[in-house]
Amino acid sequence: MHPSKSIIFFTVMSGTGYGIIICLSFLALIAEINFSYGLKLSLILISFLFITLGLLSSTLHLGHPERAWRSFSQWRSSWLSREGLAAVLTYIPLMLFYLLWFLEMDIFKYFLYSASILSVITIYCTGQMYASLKTVPAWNNVYVTPIYLINGLSIGSLSIYCLTRFYEYEIQHLYQFTLLSLALCLMLKIIYWFHIRTKSTSSINTAIGLGKDNKVSFFEGPHTGKNFLTTEMINKIKKEKANFLRLCFIILSCVLPIYMIVQEATLIIDAFILKLSFFITLVFALIGMLIERYLFFIQAKHVVSLYYGENKV
């Protein structure tokens, strides 16, 4: 599938923003989250900017962005419509949470919880939109939606962790929570990669329909040039390059953050460098996530490629 820049940016950024909110609600469940103003303000700004910039970017790939409001109407059947609706609804409790949290009014928790539930629903809808596409076997499985959720959660909690190091603030249980979600994120992705290696549903035989007693092979396409289908649905990446990018994701988004969190105490560097390195860790982790999302698209084969020379999808 075509790795559209605006969709990759949208899913990673919004996912991170929602992940921050979900992680905060977990922390609020088990402990007090009355941080310093600086930390609060940073968390509010970062989560708001990530969510909003992501959503705005998602409209960039539309042919008619000015008609985007129409997409709220078909929530009965369309996961994309549900996603849009959930994303907009999230803003209501989210803005109230920001305000009440900043004003230190205790009822902020209820708005945080509702914003968190709606965030989960939004990411769930995004995942389901891909997972429900039978035409792309690499997406049509039980791993895709959990991956979207855990990726958002892991990078969201990592964002909070890096910010707390920046403000030299300790939050109870955040250490374990971040490590656990990062490890889960890595584990799930590796299981997914093994899964898509073997998964296949359609073949040139069923696509042409003559494969029962015959050997069917591709002879020539409808024309010598490219067309909408080949540019949108048929994209290839060399195996070596894909493996290299997978390794980049593992190191940037999982191994490096885990190393930084676990080995922080043993790093003999001055406070400023330490803060800077946590900032860099977060940036690298985000780049790793962008790489992961790029691979999610470029490595997914669409069954229409069976009409353009592929034998099995």
Q: What residues make contact with other proteins under the rule CB under 8 A?
A: 1, 61-65, 67-68, 70-74, 76-81, 84, 129, 132-136, 201-202, 204, 206-210, 213-223, 225-229, 231-233, 302-304, 307-308
Q: How far apart are CA 11 and CA 118, in angstroms?
A: 16
The residue (of 128 and 277) whose beta carbon lies closer to other proteins is 128
The residue (of 34 and 201) whose beta carbon lies closer to other proteins is 201
- Are the C-beta atoms of 80 and 129 separated by less than 8 Å? yes
What dihedral angle (degrees, nearest 10) is formed by the CA atoms of 297, 187, 129, 208? 60
> Closest separation between CB of residue 231 and other proteins, Å?
8
The residue (of 80 and 258) whose beta carbon lies closer to other proteins is 80
The residue (of 52 and 71) whose beta carbon lies closer to other proteins is 71
> Closest separation between CB of residue 28 and other proteins, Å?
33
Q: How far apart are CA 64 and CA 6, in angstroms?
A: 14
Q: Is 255 exposed, middle or buried (0-12, 13-18, 19+ CB in 10 A)?
A: middle
Place of tokens 């769930």: 124
The residue (of 139 and 161) whose beta carbon lies closer to other proteins is 139
**Which residues touch 39 (CB under 8 Å, ≥6 apart)?**
163, 164, 167, 169
> Closest separation between CB of residue 72 and other proteins, Å?
8
The residue (of 132 and 277) whose beta carbon lies closer to other proteins is 132
> Closest separation between CB of residue 311 and other proteins, Å?
11
Packed helices 5-30 and 108-131: angle between N→C axes, nearest 10 degrees: 140
> Closest separation between CB of residue 226 and other proteins, Å?
6
- Are the C-beta atoms of 188 and 143 separated by less than 8 Å? yes
**Count of alpha carbons within 13 Å of 163, Cβ hemisphere only?**
23
Strands in 52-120 per DSSP E? none
Q: Is the dihedral of CA 121, 80, 187, 157 positive or negative?
A: negative
> Closest separation between CB of residue 295 and other proteins, Å?
17
The residue (of 1 and 182) whose beta carbon lies closer to other proteins is 1
Q: How far apart are CA 54 and CA 39, in angstroms?
A: 22
> Closest separation between CB of residue 116 and other proteins, Å?
24
